[in-house]
Amino acid sequence: MAYSIVAPHTGGSDVLRVQEIEIPTPGAGEVLLRHTAIGVNFIDTYFRTGLYPWSVDSDLVLGSEAAGVVEAIGDGVSGLSVGDRVAYTLANGAYTTHRTVAAQHLVNIPDGVSDETAAGSILKGLTARYLLHDSYPVQRGQHVLFHAAAGGVGLIAGQWLATMGVRATGTAGGPEKCALAGQYGYSDVIDYRSENFVEKLRALAPSGVDVVYDSVGKDTYPGSLQCLKTHGTLVSFGQSSGPATEFKLSDLAAGSFHVTRPILFHFTALPGWLEKAASELFSLIADGSIKINVNQTFDLRDAAKAHDALEGRQTTGCTVLIP
């Protein structure tokens, strides 16, 4: 049976429902995919709760990254064949067994990278790529602070930074998560639950860091600015603790700071960016420079349980749904 997991309306994880679907037929420029693995991310919960606006009035299919097998090809598609393993990241629509996707959004999964790894890493890995190379191009020898270092993006970013010769300090909640982050490229990890991360960071870097990458938001925003050196940059790319509603432009005057709020899909829309970035990501995974931890798997029908675990800070690394 083909089915999707839909949110009839905004709300908690209990709104998610199984809905049978007809297997779609690809149109011109599209391919039909049978999903084999689907990544779960905080952005999914932002859409589910209504924190991010919906593109439909009801029955939203969540999910922004997946891997699958090409089962049919529409007119005008070149470079793909039935049976190819591919992955993609798009805003919503992935919590389903089958879907059609425009071929321009698909990248081939190379040998040596599993479907689960690709599904659990393409959104998070491309996020790490635009953070480190586009939003603030980090240079060898610089020092960065990365919040939520034990999360999916954080573990990839720590390893990527290590390959670049960048000193990375991370924050995480609890000794287990701190220990995990310390194994994946971070020279120091601060336990924000038991330590004041601003004080600890300033002890490690008295003049501050070049950039802070912050996906936490409300709970970390003021302290993140205090960790920057003069002319430093705050890259805000999420709000797992809620939006930083107290932000004022005048806050930046304390150190002539820069701030940016990038979105992945503004980068994937750039000509050639997706192919180049995905190739870099999968090459680093295939040669072992970046290890992807799919630490939690759930049946697609149990998507609500996956959301509960993610929002309850009970996960590390990547979480994947298996149809």
pLDDT at 318 over 90: no
Q: 162: domain CATH number?
A: 3.40.50.720
Percent of the chain with pLDDT over 90: 88
Asked which of 261, 281, 308 is the last residue of a domain, the reply is 261
Domain check: are 8 and 37 in the same one?
Answer: yes
Residue 127 counted as domain residue: no
Q: Measure the CA–CA gap between 158 and 168, rounded to whole angstroms.
A: 7
Q: Measure the CA–CA gap between 260 and 156, rounded to whole angstroms.
A: 21
Q: Measure the CA–CA gap between 97 and 137, rounded to whole angstroms.
A: 37
Q: 19: domain CATH number?
A: 3.90.180.10
The closest alpha carbon to 293, from 260, 315, 308, belongs to 315
Q: Measure the CA–CA gap between 193 and 150, rounded to whole angstroms.
A: 14
Q: CA distances (Å), 238 to each of 47, 109, 138, 242, 263, in order?
A: 13, 27, 19, 9, 9
**pLDDT tens for residues 165-200?**
999 999 999 999 999 999 999 999 999 999 999 999
Provide the whole-model pTM.
0.88
Q: CA distances (Å), 261 to each of 160, 215, 244, in order?
A: 21, 10, 12
Q: Measure the CA–CA gap between 323 and 61, rounded to whole angstroms.
A: 14
Residue 168 counted as domain residue: yes
pLDDT at 208 over 90: yes
**pLDDT tens for residues 102-116?**
999 999 999 999 999
Name the residue type at position 29.
G
Three-state SS letters, 184-248: CCCCEEEECCCCCHHHHHHHHCCCCEEEEEECCCCCCHHHHHHCEEEEEEEEECCCCCCCCCCCC
**pLDDT tens for residues 107-150?**
999 999 999 999 999 999 999 999 999 999 999 999 999 999 99
Domain check: are 211 and 282 in the same one?
Answer: no
pLDDT of res. 134: 97
pLDDT of res. 219: 81
Per the structure, the count of domains in the chain is 2
Residue 132 counted as domain residue: no
Domain check: are 184 and 212 in the same one?
Answer: yes
Residue 116 in tokens: 């689960």
The closest alpha carbon to 259, from 291, 284, 282, 237, belongs to 237
Range of the domain at 40: 3-122+265-322
pLDDT of res. 247: 87
Please state the rounded mean pLDDT for residues 272-297.
95
Strand locations in the chain (E): 3-7, 17-20, 30-40, 60-61, 65-73, 85-89, 98-102, 107-108, 143-146, 167-172, 188-191, 209-214, 228-236, 258-260, 294-299, 318-322
**pLDDT tens for residues 14-54?**
999 999 999 999 999 999 999 999 999 988 999 999 989 99
Residue 128 counted as domain residue: no
Residue 31 in tokens: 């391919």
Residue 26 in tokens: 């690809």
Residue 170 counted as domain residue: yes
pLDDT of res. 254: 94
Domain check: are 280 and 297 in the same one?
Answer: yes
Residue 161 counted as domain residue: yes
Count Cα atoms within 13 angstroms, Cβ side, for 304: 12
Q: Measure the CA–CA gap between 149 and 42, rounded to whole angstroms.
A: 14
pLDDT of res. 152: 86
pLDDT at 58 over 90: yes
Q: Measure the CA–CA gap between 96 and 23, rounded to whole angstroms.
A: 10
Residue 133 counted as domain residue: no
When the pLDDT of each residue in the chain is averaged and rounded to a whole number, the result is 95
**pLDDT tens for residues 251-276?**
999 999 999 999 999 999 999 999 99
Asked which of 233, 261, 289 is the last residue of a domain, the reply is 261
